[in-house]
Chain A
């Protein structure tokens, strides 16, 4: 509860800045419209108008909040909580691609890290490619993945998940390589004195030692997965998902819809990363490492 006051202060400051910015950005349109209609607006009227436009450059917070409520809570009360116009529906679509991509990316990342730690050839050769893969803008490669997979008959969830995977395996590789190499010389020598096999050293020492590093990587990977899923939704023709909402919003200048989708994406990211954080706390506490 002690943390509440600082957080609320920051939120209040952001809201104030947001309202001021909305006024500044939307005022020219309000004045322009007034000039065309041949009326002059008082300052109070200008401000009121900038906070209530249909397609503002920057929608005011209460407009975004109302839009979010209308597409979530209000629809639930109507019994249409999962209709195709509901943000819950779109969030679910994006979440399923995010989750699958996250799982695939984590598996790929761990597999590559094990290869890099245990195989000298992979150690020398794989890392530069892993880094190179992340320097290619995802926006450039995403449509190609969609098109190529579509050509071989794969569409729907998997192409988006693969784009998620493409972004999320990277932090896992980097973190796991460091984690698997974290046991000290003494601990490895100790395993040698017991004549432990490589497999035993991995399961008993390297893998448990790497978990703190893994969890930190998973948080980054989860956020990256969500970005990947949203980007993956853009070139699919904007059928469903938060990315589709963003794209549709920008086609029709629906800034309020864009912002509500953005806020929803941010909330989803916060929830998912928070979930990993919770798992991390519980696991590491039980392992005596937190």
Chain B
């Protein structure tokens, strides 16, 4: 484990009992995520990618192995507010304005009022929602709502951003745009991002590392370090380097699936 390791999982397993016997959501997962990494987790449903992310967030409790976040247990990391978590749905409160929604975690964490205001201003600007602070969520499009939820996760200065298919419910055009913005945001803030997706182009376009997972039992089948530069215009997706990585991801997904298909 080197010094800038942010998340470290060793032989992580999680199984739960069902009527059809035990289900291994995760089995012997070992991975290190370094500071400033953008790591994507990709795989078919049931491969444990979301479960793995939830283990990092201490929303799920592993039944075997260890996981540390910022050098402490996942629970201690959660309690020290080490990460911001973005869910698949924006989950904004309809009775709060955009600024009010972003203020919510800050209120909960007890930031002083003046500090809350400067932070809100900063993250609203970061996700390009300036001018919409006093709108209510229903007055915004789905993409803007998801941006607001990212701003909310960024507001309290956690170094780690955990994102669970945040753009899964959005259409392709909006998704492209948000991917571009997310990359820009990542470069400017130097956050460590773990990003769950099941879109191959999304994973390849965004990530410095791509973790390919497969189901039954949920495990890691391939970890790909992307040779793409940190600066990525959208049309990098037409280059041969990009297509080569995408091909390798696809191969990994196919191999992991075995003869299930």
Report the bound CA distance from A204 to B79 in whole Å: 19
Q: Does B236 make an interface contact (CB < 8 A)? A: no
Q: Does B93 make an interface contact (CB < 8 A)? A: yes
Instruction: Return the CB mask of B62-97 against A: 1 if under 8 Å, else 0.
Output: 000000000000000011010111011101011100
Chain B, residue nearest A201 (CB)? B108
Determine whether the beta carbon of A200 is less than 8 Å from that of B108: yes
Determine whether the beta carbon of A193 is less than 8 Å from that of B95: no
Report the bound CA distance from A196 to B89 in whole Å: 20
Determine whether the beta carbon of A288 is less than 8 Å from that of B105: no
Residues of A within 8 A of B57 (CB): 193
Smallest Cβ distance from A285 to chain B, in angstroms? 11
- Provided the pairs A193-B83, A289-B94, A289-B95 are in contact, do residues A204 and B104 lie with their beta carbons within 8 angstroms? yes
Report the bound CA distance from A187 to B85 in whole Å: 12
Q: Does A143 make an interface contact (CB < 8 A)? A: no
Determine whether the beta carbon of B89 is less than 8 Å from that of A186: yes
How many chain B residues sit at the interface, stated as a range, is: 20 to 34
Q: Does A129 make an interface contact (CB < 8 A)? A: no
Smallest Cβ distance from A84 to chain B, in angstroms? 47
- Provided the pairs A195-B78, A195-B79, A195-B81 are in contact, do residues A189 and B87 lie with their beta carbons within 8 angstroms? yes
Smallest Cβ distance from A1 to chain B, in angstroms? 29
Q: Does B136 make an interface contact (CB < 8 A)? A: yes
Residues of A within 8 A of B78 (CB): 192-193, 195
State the majority secondary structure of interface residues on A: helix
What count of chain A residues pass the 8 Å CB interface test?
Answer: 18
Residues of B within 8 A of A186 (CB): 87-89, 91
Instruction: Return the CB mask of B153-169 against A: 1 if under 8 Å, else 0.
Output: 00010000000000000
Q: Does B137 make an interface contact (CB < 8 A)? A: yes
Q: Does A252 make an interface contact (CB < 8 A)? A: no
Chain A, residue nearest B89 (CB)? A186
Determine whether the beta carbon of B94 is less than 8 Å from that of A287: yes
Determine whether the beta carbon of B87 is less than 8 Å from that of A190: yes
Residues of A within 8 A of B104 (CB): 194, 204
Determine whether the beta carbon of A194 is less than 8 Å from that of B105: yes
Q: Does B59 make an interface contact (CB < 8 A)? A: yes
Q: Does B138 make an interface contact (CB < 8 A)? A: yes
Chain A, residue nearest B136 (CB)? A288
Task: List A residues 263-288 near B (Cβ within 8 Å).
Answer: 286-288
Q: Does A249 make an interface contact (CB < 8 A)? A: no
- Provided the pairs A193-B78, A193-B85 are in contact, do residues A287 and B108 lie with their beta carbons within 8 angstroms? no
Q: Does A81 make an interface contact (CB < 8 A)? A: no
Residues of A within 8 A of B1 (CB): none
Instruction: Return the CB mask of B92-111 against A: 1 if under 8 Å, else 0.
Output: 01110000000011011100
Instruction: Return the CB mask of A191-210 against B: 1 if under 8 Å, else 0.
Output: 11111100010001100100
Chain B, residue nearest A286 (CB)? B95
9 A-B pairs with least C-beta separation = A287-B95, A288-B94, A193-B85, A194-B105, A196-B108, A288-B136, A195-B79, A194-B108, A200-B108
Residues of B whose CB lies within 8 Å of any CB of A are 57-59, 78-79, 81, 83-85, 87-89, 91, 93-95, 104-105, 107-109, 136-138, 156
Could you list some 9 contacts between A and B, CB below 8 A?
A190-B91, A192-B59, A193-B57, A193-B85, A208-B95, A288-B136, A288-B137, A289-B94, A289-B95
